[in-house]
Amino acid sequence: MLEKIIIHGGKPLNGKVKISGSKNAVLPIIVASILAEGESVIYDVPDLTDVHILKDILKELGAKITFENNVFRIDTRDVNCWEASYENINKMRASVLVMGPLLAKFNKARVAMPGGCAIGTRPIDLHLKGFESLGAKISLEQGFVSAISEERLHGGKIYLDFPSVGATENIMMAATLAEGTTVIENAAEEPEIVDLANFLNAMGASVKGAGTNVIKIIGTDKLHGAEHTVIPDRIEAGTYLIAGAVIGGNLVIENVISHHIKPVIAKLRDCGVDIEELDSSLIVRNAGNFKATDIKTMPYPGFPTDMQSVFSVLMCLAKGTSIITETVFENRFMHFDELKRMGAVIKIEGKSAVIEGVPSLSGCQVKATDLRAGAALIIAGLTCEGKTEVLDVYHVFRGYENIIDKLQGLGADIRLEV
Ligand code: EPZ
């Protein structure tokens, strides 16, 4: 945990960078393999801390797993435990996604109530409301939440008060083995939901409407293992896009599905950044003096909350005043204190932040508070003449595969110091 990243910025980024498989698609897909009676093989799995945490959790539940060269093989025939420990849930909130598949497979699931995290309390009430509509009884005791159904789950109709990504995924997975049809209304529409649905259907499930706000799942008796290649990580792609815009040079970003980051591309073009879209790549050239703009984070297909902190670096260096409004999480502005130490001029007013562009930032010691804030601080450091040290970088390795190698390959003077 004492690792830090040392950056000597001011050097343009040139060359090609290949985007890895999506963290937020692969985590629910790996969990969904619990539903199968057999082995699944998942390709383009990014080598991330979160993937290793999930591997350990599933091994504890009885799964047999190998993970090498971005290929994740998992056989869940011997999964015999329906409980996830506090220690594991606390390592990674997304592990609450095991509830849906365990409930579907064993008619019961017991997981530690996930704590909040740096970006907000992040309750799971919508997940639990969905399980109740499928026939489960929910109880909370000793910090654990249990979902138990006396008999096989039945289909249900759920309206999500908020289009929660995790709740949509958890309910979708539970419904695949329920008796009858389930309809999720006001469902999340993120590309990661579509990728999960494609994997579930490859396993023999019947999931229709993923990517829209109404998803219909017709339950079946059993699912088999499947093979699947994970979609590219749209947030990693957006991160390198913004790096290319603020640090400049000529950057080719490969393995991108550009319509997954349409709002980010549109906003960058509003700022005057030159982006060329090829069929599976983006080319970004340094805009130099880009204009200020306003962003408001929204569920997909709106501007993604996961891009907010990285995009704010560009706004710190834009000409004029920008306003960021964060509507998805209640505490996702912590990177601003660190950026202000680098010379940014930012004023927080409730859910909004007002950013006055400055000609440049200056390197200093800063601390990552979550993985996207950490990525933002790395990009900010790459723009500065002089030295920047980013502490608590373990956050960044949760979501950005080989980020130091990738940036070094583009000409950045960046290294890890343990
Ligand atoms: C997923 O988190 C992503 N994580 C997040 O990415 C992403 O920021 C988020 O979706 C929104 O797009 C993974 O996919 C592993 P939500 P999730 O449920 O599922 C509230 C990253 O940086 N809510 O859509 O936890 C919640 O408090 C991470 O890669 C409820 O109130 O997000 C939050 O304010 C960060 N009750 C909002 O909804 C619930 O039952 C969005 O949460 C569930 C959620």
For 375-408, write each residue's pLDDT tens digit: 999 999 999 988 999 999 999 999 999 999 999 9
Nearest CA, atom 28, ligand 1 = 306
Residues with catalytic function: 117
Give the integer Cα–Cα distance in Å for 391 and 4: 5
- Ligand 1 pocket, residues with Cβ under 6 angstroms: 23-24, 27, 94, 120, 122-127, 162, 164-167, 305-306, 328-329, 371-372, 399
Query: Which pLDDT tens digit goes with each residue over 312-324?
Result: 999 999 999 999 9
The Å distance, Cα 37 to ligand 1 centre, comes to 29
Q: Which of 22, 127, 162 gets mutated to test ligand 1 (max ligand atoms within 8 A of its CB)?
A: 162
Across residues 217-243, what is the average pLDDT?
98
Q: Using 50, 70 and 90 to split pLDDT, how confident is the model at 183?
A: very high
| Contact indicator for 140, 132 with CB cutoff of 8 Å | no
Residue 165 Cα: closest atom of ligand 1: 24
Mean pLDDT in the chain?
95
Say what the pLDDT of residue 88 is: 78
Other CB atoms closer than 10 Å to residue 1's CB: what's the count?
A: 6
The answer to whether the beta carbons of residues 193 and 165 sit under 8 Å apart is yes
Residue 413 clears pLDDT 70, i.e. is over it: yes
pLDDT of residue 1: 61
- pLDDT (tens digit, 9 = 90+) per residue, 266-312? 999 999 999 999 999 999 987 677 899 999 999 999 999 999 999 99
For residue 20, the model assigns a pLDDT of 98
Q: In what order do the strands lie in the sheet with 321-325?
A: 294-296, 321-325, 352-356, 345-349
* Predicted pLDDT at 200: 98
Q: Phi and psi dihedrals of 66, rounded to 5?
A: -125, 145
Please report the pLDDT score of residue 142 as a whole number.
87
Q: Give the model confidence (pLDDT) of 63-117 as tens digits.
A: 999 999 999 999 999 999 999 888 877 888 888 999 999 999 999 999 988 766 7
Per-residue pLDDT of 3-21, as tens digits, reads 899 999 999 999 999 999 9
Q: Are 286 and 302 in contact (CB under 8 A)?
A: no
C-alpha 403 to ligand 1 mean position (Å): 23
Q: 329-374 pLDDT, tens per residue?
A: 988 999 999 999 999 999 999 999 999 999 999 999 999 999 999 9
* Cα gap 94→65, rounded to integer Å: 19
Amino acid 287: pLDDT: 61
State the average pLDDT over residues 146-166: 97
Position 2 scores a pLDDT of 75
How many separate helices (H) and strands (E) can be counted in the chain?
A: 13, 24
Q: Which atom of ligand 1 is nearest to the CA of 122?
A: 27
248 pLDDT band, cuts 50/70/90, is confident
pTM of the model: 0.97
User: Which residue among 328, 332, 370 is best mutated to probe the pocket of ligand 1, counting the most ligand atoms within 8 A of its Cβ?
Assistant: 328
Q: Which residues of 138-156 are buried (b: 16+ CB within 10 A; e: fewer)?
A: eeeeeebbbbbbeeebbbb
Residue with CA nearest ligand 1 atom 34 = 329
Q: How far is the CA of 122 from the centre of ligand 1 (A)?
A: 7
pLDDT of residue 418: 85
Contact of 41 with 73, CB cutoff 8 Å = yes
Q: What is the mean pLDDT of residues 48-58?
A: 94
Nearest atom in ligand 1 to 164's CA: 24
pLDDT of residue 333: 93
**Per-residue confidence (pLDDT) for residue 68, from 0 to 100:** 97
